[in-house]
A and B are shown apart, each in its own frame.
Chain A
Amino acid sequence: MSSAHDFDAGSVVGEDRLPGEPSAAAPGALGAEIRGYLIGLALSVLLTIAAFWALHTPLIYGPSIMMAIVVLAVAQMGIHLVFFLHLTTAPDNLNNALALAFGVLIVGLIVFGSVWVMNHLNQNMLPNLQLMQMQR
């Protein structure tokens, strides 16, 4: 069994072995794996700091700070998927990526659809609300 094509929790060192069977992992594989997690951690910390920093910075145009925070959050989710969950498009992992793409579609429909519809509803209901307040 070759170790390069095994994905146990995305780890190339974690191939399925029989008990007592020696590891087929290449020397130095552990260092590379740890480095991957460290890169993920560093990027996540950077993106988190950037999100907190974006709140009060004069460098970003006020009304667009919200969008900046959303972008930083989506970027950090991507970092987690790649470096912690080891999501790739390798053959054994492709089904996971396709399922994720479908999940993202549903999440997008639910969140943006709800916000969009309910905001329009609020706008259309506004005169009635004012009417109710006037009748009090």
Chain B
Amino acid sequence: MSTPAIHASDPYHLGRHPSGGPEYTGAGGGGPAPKRIVVGYGFWIFILSDVIMFSVLFATYAVLANNRAGGPGPHELFDLHTTATETGLLLLSSFVCGMASLAMAYRNQLWTQLSLLVTGLLGAGFLTLEAREFAGFVAQGAGPTRSAFLSAFFTLVGCHGIHVTAGLLWLGTMMAQIYAKGFRQNVRHRFLCFTLFWHALDIIWVGIFSLVYLIAEVLP
């Protein structure tokens, strides 16, 4: 396209374009949006509904955090070194997942598989630490049935852990599909959804380590 109009070089310009170019589908001109935009939008709506579900669990935890029924509280249970390590593992996993999406964009099978493998290993490390933490709590008699605080804690953090587990299964499936089917469009769209899911899990974890683990330290 050889239009010299200013808008042609400005992807953030809203509204119909005077040149009538086909590229700004989101602004209402230029026909239906490309499929990956529609797929990404649909999956983004799912992620937001998931975030709203987590917000209910966060609210439950915030309301019940002080109801300990004489049982152990956060000061006796939480070990911030574990939390810091878990945070680092999940953040790095999210970053390497971004590298995988770049390798994917360049259709590089080796780097895609390698970075996905590292993503999965970091995620598995996170899950191992979390499972060990949970087992330690239960061994101390601080299982989910001990108090309302612990019920809410296990529900919120455990729900995130289940999401990470599901993400790991999805990741393995994506590695197999990319290997077997190559960089087909539908495989790439599934992968786009997976990266959205994995990054969103890290955003939820930011909320958990801040609002559950760190704030518990400053509360009485």
Shortest CB-to-CB span from A65 to chain B, Å, is 5
Question: Looking at the complex, which of B69-77, B170-178, B192-200 is the stretch in contact with chain A?
Answer: B192-200
| B51–A103 CB distance below 8 A | yes
User: In the complex where A5-B24, A85-B196, A90-B11 touch, is A115 in contact with B63 (Cβ < 8 A)?
Assistant: yes
**Proximity bits, A82-125, B CB within 8 Å = 1, else 0:** 00110011111111100110110011001101110010000000
Question: Is B180 close to A, CB under 8 A?
Answer: no
| A114–B192 CB distance below 8 A | no
Question: Is B147 close to A, CB under 8 A?
Answer: no
Q: How many angstroms between the C-alpha atoms of A73 and B98 in the bound complex?
A: 21
Contacts of B79 in A (CB 8 A): none
Closest Cβ neighbor of B28 among chain A residues: A91
**Proximity bits, B84-103, A CB within 8 Å = 1, else 0:** 10011001101100110110
| A100–B26 CB distance below 8 A | no
| A37–B99 CB distance below 8 A | yes
| B102–A34 CB distance below 8 A | yes
Question: Is B45 close to A, CB under 8 A?
Answer: yes
Closest Cβ neighbor of A106 among chain B residues: B52
**Chain A interface residue number, banded:** 35 or more
Shortest CB-to-CB span from A22 to chain B, Å, is 10
| A52–B99 CB distance below 8 A | no
| B105–A77 CB distance below 8 A | no
Question: Is A127 close to B, CB under 8 A?
Answer: no
Question: Is B219 close to A, CB under 8 A?
Answer: yes
Shortest CB-to-CB span from B92 to chain A, Å, is 8
Question: Is B25 close to A, CB under 8 A?
Answer: yes
Contacts of B217 in A (CB 8 A): 55
Question: Is A66 close to B, CB under 8 A?
Answer: yes
8 A-B pairs with least C-beta separation: A14-B105, A91-B26, A73-B210, A114-B59, A103-B48, A92-B26, A107-B55, A91-B27
